[in-house]
Amino acid sequence: MSPSADRRSRGRVVLVAMLCAAALVGCGATTPGQPAATSSTTVAPPRDPDATLRDRPPFEAAQQQYLAAVTDAANRIAALVPGLTWHVEENSWRGCGGEFLHTKGVQAYVFAVFSGRTPDAVWPRTVRIVVDAAAGVGATTVRPLADRPADHELVVTGPEGVEVRFGTAAATVLSMKSDCRLRQQTPPR
């Protein structure tokens, strides 16, 4: 056998050995003392969206919870700025999207408008108030959308469409939207 043929043969042996080792690792080889992996994994079937909604508290409970959260946060924000007042502009609902698009589910929606803007010096304190209020409704992922002098906006999101928006430019606004819920007495479509 020539020297070049011998090198090719050894290269093939090394390659085959590497492939066998990779196959053993990829097929669930275990370390001594660990249980062997089973070859079948159970995947839960997708849950019926209507059944998911029936397991949640009703829309009316979400509407009360979100209105209370907006009211508390707005009162605390207004207390930081002399003369700043606020009112609920909208306390209603939105249709659901995603997996709940074709259900009778709705999202509670509360929108508050303030009489003026939040000064830059107070903005960080108001953000803390809003982030704490958002956590109370399950929203914990904070994303700043704008952060310039006299123009600030952020969104705090949570699972299944929970969203809190807060911003100030010409005026300060605060809104909260719940996850999808069924009404206690679902009206016919």
Q: What is residue 22's predicted lDDT score, i.e. its pLDDT?
A: 41
* Contact assessment for residue 103 and residue 145, using Cβ atoms and an 8 Å cutoff: no
> What confidence tens digit (pLDDT) does each residue in 32-55 have?
454 444 545 666 666 798 899 999
- What is the three-class DSSP state of 15? helix
Find residue 180's DSSP bridge partners: 107
15-26 exposure pattern, b = at least 16 Cβ within 10 A, e = fewer: eeeeeeeeeeee
pTM: 0.73
Q: What is residue 185's predicted lDDT score, i.e. its pLDDT?
A: 73
The H or E element containing residue 75 is helix 59-80
- What is the three-class DSSP state of 66? helix
* Contact assessment for residue 11 and residue 19, using Cβ atoms and an 8 Å cutoff: no
Question: In sequence order, what are the residues at sequence separation of 6 or more whose Cβ sits closer than 8 angstroms to the Cβ of residue 101?
Answer: 95
102 phi and psi, to 5 degrees?
-100, 30
Bigger pLDDT: 12 vs 20: 12
Confidence bin at 100 (pLDDT 50/70/90)? very high
CA 137 remoteness from chain centre: 11
Residue type (1 letter), 39: S
> What confidence tens digit (pLDDT) does each residue in 63-82 have?
999 999 999 999 999 999 99
